[in-house]
A and B are shown apart, each in its own frame.
Chain A
């Protein structure tokens, strides 16, 4: 049966609230006490949360079961909408509807349940909830304040609203701004699933260039912090990827806004970020390589299985790389970097008068044009004659153009969406080319190392040879795709010109 559920922060005297409700004609009857614990799950990007879906694995107390709920209309879901298997008690990831779900928050609840009958005869379930919360990796539980939860059968939402008003206005019991998950994440000091960027970190038209640089760096630090736990737990390769992307963006922001942020400071911070970027890159490259080897092995004629020696070698390399990354992410140096990113250029430059401060709204179009100009210089070259290293260079320029557009996109009301999409196409194509190049070099290096260790069987060497051939084919195909797309590069320039420069400067978003 569907139900409407609301939670309140229970403060003050229980007796006063109970007697007040009784005076209003409500009848309260104790039903019993319950204890359960559970884990909230979501995708890495927080897609369930964004759709207001809460997936909770509950143990109450003897068996695990799934409970799917929405904040406004909590429900025991139809069977086809919840995973078939019970949730894993050890908070391990789980696959559902083809998505990998990760533990987001653990919750432990003890509640006293009451049956509340309204003067109209309508019945509610009212519970006094003592809950404690823990992040997936944390050992200690953080207790929340006592909550009052109110639920009622579907279709009686207005009745819940009425009693909600009595609780809030008459007995001063404040409603929770969100649901139990949102409250628990706040109590446990964790980010919302998918770590949406807080509104105060979005650029505003009246920001100065220095403020914009500061906000963009704080935003990257926020994204990095949000993904550290998942990366260290190795819950999903995407956590490492997201920290890496945030690191790249931060380094690029330091390059773009370096003069405004303080050149020496920016250069020093970039050096520090290079250190963590290197460690992240090692893990990420191995993730990509494992992924590609699995993918291309299937495409190889005869589909030979990946030799055990190669699989074991890659796993060993990844474990070593991840251990090094884990130490780094848990260490003081990384914490210092994050704090530095959050504090750099916090105030306005003291040496400049107000009227000389550059506004981000004025500075953005020239910065975007500078990024396109760098690519236009490459466009004069014959694409078939470009070396792999040069293609990689072009890829980096596309990445910078994309980041520049993305940095300023909310400022101009999403006008760069088309240009960003085109940049992503170029970037993906060149990225696949680069990955194939790196994978070939790594495979050769791995074959040499295995041969040195005496672990290179004929089967392994044949597999490596076949795989290198396959990768060469992939690289050729990527180059062909790029050469085809490269002819359309002027369209990307036209899209950017339309959005910023040659035409009128776009209106700032309000």
Chain B
């Protein structure tokens, strides 16, 4: 069974479409999203509608958690609007309809499933928190701290926007990178594809794909997404702190 794991779409619809096109070419049977579906990008509604229509399994990320605290009329929106790094969340909140809010609210923080009898856990950051990171330097000791279910053989995460796949202490760790907000100097989007061939065989690799980044940059400008810098998308970098 071939499964693609996407993460950190960040409301980048052209990138999501390109990723799904590539997944189709790879003959992937399932698609699972490891959080940060919206936030920062200009297409939150489009992204949610498409994932909902395709019945894609997903977990919520730190962005979704913060966004849900803005649901409905509340004073936090006004306060956050004044914070440069939060204003995009308020903008996103204003775009969403009830159906989109409901879909976001139903996202779990962790997904646990068996794929071809392989126990898989999908989180956004780490099993402990959606704000912690798992980097390529992750060690067996670090994994132990997460107190994973001993049965889990594959841990899928995102959040760091740095894609990698690595086997640590018998666990295949997959960080999907970012579909819609790469920051590793490569402007192409990234996701992970894993091949599950029975309980002991899991192969995974990172796929990079091009998408219409100019369309995205034009939409960022046209829709006036607060704090968005088109140049960062064009270069695949992040020029300021989170």
Proximity bits, A107-132, B CB within 8 Å = 1, else 0: 00000000000011000000000000
User: Which of A119, A158, A168, A170 interacts with B50 by CB under 8 Å?
Assistant: A170
Q: Smallest CB–CB gap between A48 and chain B, Å?
A: 23
Determine if B226 is an interface residue (Cβ-Cβ < 8 Å): no
Assess whether A161 is in contact with B50, with CB atoms less than 8 Å apart.
no
Question: Nearest residue in B to A171 (C-beta to C-beta)?
Answer: B17
Q: Smallest CB–CB gap between B93 and chain A, Å?
A: 13
Bound: A24/B47 CA distance, A: 11
For B13, list chain A residues within 8 Å (CB). Answer: 165, 169
Assess whether A161 is in contact with B223, with CB atoms less than 8 Å apart.
yes
Question: Nearest residue in A to B18 (C-beta to C-beta)?
Answer: A169
For B223, list chain A residues within 8 Å (CB). Answer: 161
For A165, list chain B residues within 8 Å (CB). Answer: 13-14, 43, 46, 219
Number of A-B contacts (CB under 8 A): 38
Known: A25-B53, A169-B212. A120 touches B97 (CB 8 A): yes
Q: Smallest CB–CB gap between B108 and chain A, Å?
A: 23
Determine if B129 is an interface residue (Cβ-Cβ < 8 Å): no
Assess whether B212 is in contact with A24, with CB atoms less than 8 Å apart.
no
- Majority secondary structure, A binding face: helix
Q: How many residues of B sit at the interface, in one of the four size bands?
A: 10 to 19
For B212, list chain A residues within 8 Å (CB). Answer: 169
Assess whether A169 is in contact with B53, with CB atoms less than 8 Å apart.
no
Determine if A352 is an interface residue (Cβ-Cβ < 8 Å): no
- Majority secondary structure, B binding face: helix
For A23, list chain B residues within 8 Å (CB). Answer: 53
Assess whether A120 is in contact with B99, with CB atoms less than 8 Å apart.
yes
Q: Smallest CB–CB gap between A347 and chain B, Å?
A: 32
Assess whether A166 is in contact with B46, with CB atoms less than 8 Å apart.
yes
Determine if B45 is an interface residue (Cβ-Cβ < 8 Å): yes
Assess whether A162 is in contact with B99, with CB atoms less than 8 Å apart.
no
Assess whether A162 is in contact with B45, with CB atoms less than 8 Å apart.
yes
Bound: A166/B43 CA distance, A: 10
Bound: A329/B212 CA distance, A: 45
Proximity bits, B13-39, A CB within 8 Å = 1, else 0: 110111000000000000000000000
Bound: A56/B196 CA distance, A: 61
For A169, list chain B residues within 8 Å (CB). Answer: 13-14, 16-18, 46, 212, 215
Q: Smallest CB–CB gap between B31 and chain A, Å?
A: 15
For A119, list chain B residues within 8 Å (CB). Answer: 49, 99
Bound: A246/B14 CA distance, A: 45
Give the size of the chain A interface in residues (CB under 8 angstroms).
Answer: 13
Assess whether B46 is in contact with A162, with CB atoms less than 8 Å apart.
yes
For B99, list chain A residues within 8 Å (CB). Answer: 119-120
Determine if B203 is an interface residue (Cβ-Cβ < 8 Å): no
Scoring A119, A161, A162, A165 by chain B CB atoms within 10 A of each residue's CB, the highest score goes to A165
Question: Nearest residue in B to A172 (C-beta to C-beta)?
Answer: B17
Proximity bits, B207-238, A CB within 8 Å = 1, else 0: 00000100100010011000000000000000
For B219, list chain A residues within 8 Å (CB). Answer: 161, 165
Q: Smallest CB–CB gap between B157 and chain A, Å?
A: 26
User: Which of A24, A161, A168 interacts with B49 by CB under 8 Å?
Assistant: A24
Bound: A162/B43 CA distance, A: 7
Bound: A25/B13 CA distance, A: 18
For A162, list chain B residues within 8 Å (CB). Answer: 43, 45-46, 49
Which residues in window 159-203 of A have CB below 8 A to B? Answer: 161-162, 165-166, 168-170
Assess whether A24 is in contact with B53, with CB atoms less than 8 Å apart.
yes
Determine if B95 is an interface residue (Cβ-Cβ < 8 Å): yes
User: Which of B16, B17, B95, B215 interacts with A158 by CB under 8 Å?
Assistant: B95
Bound: A455/B99 CA distance, A: 86
Which residues in window 19-45 of A have CB below 8 A to B? Answer: 23-25
Bound: A263/B99 CA distance, A: 73
Bound: A162/B49 CA distance, A: 10
For B95, list chain A residues within 8 Å (CB). Answer: 158
Q: Known A-B contacts: A161-B222, A165-B219. Give 7 more (CB < 8 A).
A: A25-B49, A158-B45, A165-B46, A166-B46, A168-B215, A169-B14, A169-B215
19 pairs from A and B in contact (CB 8 Å cutoff): A24-B50, A25-B49, A25-B53, A120-B97, A158-B45, A158-B95, A161-B222, A161-B223, A162-B43, A162-B49, A165-B14, A165-B43, A166-B46, A168-B14, A168-B215, A169-B14, A169-B18, A169-B46, A170-B50
Interface residues of A (CB under 8 A from B): 23-25, 119-120, 158, 161-162, 165-166, 168-170
A-B pairs, 8 with minimum CB distance: A169-B17, A165-B46, A169-B14, A24-B53, A165-B13, A162-B45, A169-B13, A170-B17
